[in-house]
Amino acid sequence: MQRYSGFGLVKHALSHHENWERQWRNPTPKKQYDVIIVGGGGHGLATAYYLAKEFGVKNVAVIEKGWLGGGNTARNTTIVRSNYLWDEAAALYEHAMKLWEGLSQDLNYNVMFSQRGVLNLGHTLQDMRDIQRRVNANRLNGIDGEVLDAKGVQELVPIMDCSKNARYPVMGASWQPRAGVARHDAVAWGYARGADAHGVDILQQTEVTGFKIRDGQIYGVHTNRGDIEAKTVGCVAAGNSSVLAKMGGFNLPLESHPLQALVSEPIKPILDTVVMSNHVHGYISQSDKGDLVIGAGIDGYNGYGQRGSYPTVEHTLQAIVEMFPIFSRVRMNRQWGGIVDTCPDACPIISKTPVKGLYFNCGWGTGGFKATPGSGHVFAASLAKGEMHPIAEPFSMFRFHSGALIDEHGAAGVAH
């Protein structure tokens, strides 16, 4: 792998930047691998990267039916935070946060991780009580957090309407200074390049059409480019997980919904943090290009169409303009949707399945991006050892029968 550096940039300038090495190969599938990862999004690529780098499993294939970063990895609003209420979820997201903090160096790839802080607003007394409870829980778990009152919020974000005249007045917020944003497609590309350098085969335009299962043990997958064998298969397919599970002969408690986001025309720097509000249903940050990145809620109906409905967009923009009257004349540039696989308890599934050797990592719902490094790391550890990593253990798919749910609707909700 060609390492990136300032010196390299100067060197390549001399040849007009025409001799950069490709970031990853485009190999033909081998007949057999030790581990197959189904799904080449951020989580899948991270899994492959850590498998090869940390757990010594180098004979790995990532199978992706489209192209890298064509799904939710590059459709989200890039927010990274770890202020979850329950111990299990906090451990998982904080594990990811710690990896985020060294990720650009680790990958030798600038993922533009910017710890500009995240505000979760409270608009009612109950919101504020929930925020206090969650921040206290966070601090007990070693996660940074503060409770701010309306004045504190106003100091951080002078352009926000924190007056009492708002329809839903801002009463305060939780503030996680270590949270922030990262460039989402750089995350996919960085992990792909790193995994490829460790010998992982990334097979794009390859679609899994079925599993090869004998005596309850998986031994390979059918694809549109022929059969590929492996005794361990990890599925990280987000919105399409239910479809894959069906091929494996079992059900998952997931529902796929369209989730939308939109960006405005680029404007001068005006918002240097991330503002989220569950109550009025909108979240916003400003990208380095200057466009406002705005996230909507999910559409309530099931859908695989990678597009959402206009009433949802309208609802979100009403909330944004209510909080930021100054943005009322900003024009929106692009709007898109992704398919999110939501779980009944708003926590993911990282789990063994009824099929031996077949593992699933799914159900991240509306907030998977922030967990990309941590999810990949614990999933890789589980695949390598055949035993679930302690952080992943509570996220078993069997919790929906045992009743040991991890109810994160408060910290996860819709706003991510």
Nearest distance from residue 303's CB to another protein, in Å? 5
Q: Is 185 in the site for another protein (CB under 8 A)?
A: no
Q: Is 404 in the site for another protein (CB under 8 A)?
A: no
Q: Phi, psi at residue 407, to the nearest 5°?
A: -80, 95
Nearest distance from residue 216's CB to another protein, in Å? 17
Q: Kindly write out the interface string for residues 339-358 of this chain, putting x where it contacts another protein by CB under 8 A and - elsewhere.
A: -----x--------------
Nearest distance from residue 399's CB to another protein, in Å? 9
Nearest distance from residue 244's CB to another protein, in Å? 11
Query: In 3-state terms, the chain is what percent helix, strand and coil (to 5)?
Result: 30, 25, 45
- How many chain residues bind another protein (CB under 8 A)? 30
Radius of gyration of the CA atoms of the chain, in A: 21
303/357 with CB nearer another protein? 303
Residue selected from 152, 253, 290, 410 as contacting another protein according to rule CB under 8 A:
253
94/255 with CB nearer another protein? 255
Q: Is 3 in the site for another protein (CB under 8 A)?
A: no
Contact in structure between 372 and 86 (CB atoms under 8 Å): no
Which amino acid does the sequence have at 327? F
Burial (CB < 10 A; 0-12, 13-18, 19+), residue 147, is middle
Element (H, E) at 112: none
User: DSSP states of 308-329 as a string?
Assistant: --HHHHHHHHHHHHHH-GGGTT
Instruction: Tell which residue, 236, 189, 246, 216, has the closest CA to residue 63.
Output: 236
Residue selected from 5, 126, 136, 251 as contacting another protein according to rule CB under 8 A:
251
Residue selected from 4, 55, 168, 400 as contacting another protein according to rule CB under 8 A:
400
| Euclidean distance between CA atoms 240 and 238, whole angstroms | 6
Residue selected from 27, 300, 325, 386 as contacting another protein according to rule CB under 8 A:
300
Nearest distance from residue 210's CB to another protein, in Å? 14
256/372 with CB nearer another protein? 256
Nearest distance from residue 89's CB to another protein, in Å? 18
**What are the angstrom distances between the C-alpha of 18 and each of 10, 12, 248?**
13, 8, 46
Q: Is 207 in the site for another protein (CB under 8 A)?
A: yes
44/303 with CB nearer another protein? 303
Tokens representing residue 71 in the block: 């799904």
82/206 with CB nearer another protein? 206
Residue selected from 21, 289, 311, 331 as contacting another protein according to rule CB under 8 A:
311
Q: Is 210 in the site for another protein (CB under 8 A)?
A: no
Q: Is 204 in the site for another protein (CB under 8 A)?
A: no
Nearest distance from residue 299's CB to another protein, in Å? 8
User: DSSP states of 346-368 as a string?
Assistant: S--EEEE-SSBTEEEEE--TT--
Name which of residues 230 to 249 contact another protein (CB under 8 A).
Answer: 240, 242-243
Where does 369-413 have alpha helices with state H? 372-385, 399-402
| Euclidean distance between CA atoms 187 and 409, whole angstroms | 26
Residue selected from 307, 334, 385, 409 as contacting another protein according to rule CB under 8 A:
307
Residue selected from 14, 125, 310, 331 as contacting another protein according to rule CB under 8 A:
310
Q: Phi, psi at residue 362, to the nearest 5°?
A: -160, -170
Beta strands in 104-166 (DSSP E): 118-122, 146-149
Q: Phi, psi at residue 122, to the nearest 5°?
A: -120, 135
Residue selected from 32, 59, 110, 309 as contacting another protein according to rule CB under 8 A:
309
Name which of residues 65 to 84 contact another protein (CB under 8 A).
Answer: 65-66, 70
| Euclidean distance between CA atoms 109 and 194, whole angstroms | 9
Q: Is 254 in the site for another protein (CB under 8 A)?
A: yes
| Euclidean distance between CA atoms 172 and 146, whole angstroms | 11
DSSP label at residue 228 = E
Nearest distance from residue 416's CB to another protein, in Å? 20
DSSP label at residue 32 = B
Interface ranges with another protein (CB under 8 A):
65-66, 70, 207, 240, 242-243, 251-256, 299-307, 309-311, 344, 400-403
